[in-house]
Amino acid sequence: MEVTGVSAPTVTVCISSSLNTFRSEKQYSRSLTMAEFKCKLELLLYGVDDKFYSKLDQEDALLGSYPVDDGRRIHLIDHSGARLGEYEDVSWVEKYTISQEACDQRQDTVCFFLKRSKLGRYNEEERAQQEAEATQASSIPVGSRWEVWAAGHQGTIMYVGLTDFKPGYWIGVRYDEPLGKNDGSVNGKRYFECQAKYGAFVKPAEDYGLDEI
């Protein structure tokens, strides 16, 4: 093989592999021997247009002796028997697990922080409120007619359940008149269908005055 003369001591190439679907850009010294560069991998040189140039298989040759220029791609072929995507599939990664009992004894966990701060499932008042809301919400059937007496508006129940815009249970109401705030959607997520300004959401609590009509 004819050795080509180059002036730049390093070259930037894209590296692809038979084991994954992505490419990475790397910079290498042209003075590396192929033995140092190759190790146990088979190297194939491709151009920017993905045209195959040659195998990089002479272990005593320098990287710079091959027609390696900036932007070209070096493809690695693994002969270990590993399959494509094996190192991208996180389902193959062994997960660290800890029992609830062991977690409760540690003081450096999210569970400990939540318990100490009385947040989430460790906030008994909040849990009681959520349970009360769930009970109240379960007694309000979708399609029934109700009046929000605090506002004096009548309408039809269109949605009952949890939402993304605020925690807890919410009741979606389609008013008989354009007295609402939305069209049944909030922040781009639709919960029910209605005309603009006919939709509203209220909490399933007594102080909101949801009376069946």
Average confidence (pLDDT) over 53-80: 76
Poorest-confidence range of 72-76, 119-123, 134-138, 192-196?
Answer: 119-123
Distance set, CA 90 to CA 21, 61, 87 (Å): 15, 38, 7
- 199 forms bridges with which residues in the sheet? 174, 182
**pLDDT at site 191:** 96
For residue 56, give the CATH number of its domain.
Answer: 3.10.20.90
**CA–CA dist 179, 183 (Å, integer):** 11
Range of the domain at 62: 10-77
Average confidence (pLDDT) over 120-147: 80
What average pLDDT does the structure give for the chain?
A: 76
**pLDDT at site 42:** 59
Q: By three-state DSSP, how is residue 69 classified?
A: coil
| Percent of the chain surpassing pLDDT 70 | 72
Residues 144 and 110 in one domain: no
Asked if the structure places residue 4 within a domain, the reply is no
Residues 107 and 146 in one domain: no
More confident residue, 56 or 24: 56
**pLDDT at site 40:** 42
Q: How many domains does the chain have?
A: 3
Poorest-confidence range of 19-23, 87-91, 164-168, 208-212?
Answer: 208-212
Residues 127 and 172 in one domain: no
**pLDDT at site 176:** 92
**pLDDT at site 10:** 82
- From 26, 43, 77, give the residue that closes a domain: 77
Residue 211 has pLDDT above 60, yes or no: no
Residues 129 and 151 in one domain: no
**CA–CA dist 122, 156 (Å, integer):** 36
- Closest listed residue to residue 177, CA positions, set 213, 151, 203: 151
**CA–CA dist 137, 104 (Å, integer):** 33
Asked if the structure places residue 88 within a domain, the reply is no
More confident residue, 131 or 174: 174
Residues 119 and 153 in one domain: no
Residues 70 and 102 in one domain: no
Residues 200 and 145 in one domain: yes
Residues 20 and 73 in one domain: yes
More confident residue, 188 or 66: 188
pLDDT tier, 198 (very low <50, low <70, confident <90, very high otherwise): very high
Asked if the structure places residue 66 within a domain, the reply is yes
Q: Decide: 56 and 39 in contact? Cβ < 8 Å.
A: no
Asked if the structure places residue 18 within a domain, the reply is yes
pLDDT, tens only, 79-107: 544 555 555 666 767 777 878 788 777 88
Residues whose CB falls within 8 Å of the CB of residue 49, separated by 6 or more in sequence, listed in order: none
Average confidence (pLDDT) over 124-139: 80
**pLDDT at site 200:** 92
Residues 135 and 186 in one domain: no
Residues 145 and 126 in one domain: no
pLDDT, tens only, 26-58: 777 788 787 776 664 556 666 777 788 778 777
Residues 73 and 111 in one domain: no
For residue 193, give the CATH number of its domain.
Answer: 2.30.30.190
Tally of CB atoms within 10 A around 16: 19
Residue 73 CB burial class (10 angstroms; 0-12, 13-18, ≥19): buried
Residue 183 has pLDDT above 70, yes or no: yes
Residues 17 and 51 in one domain: yes
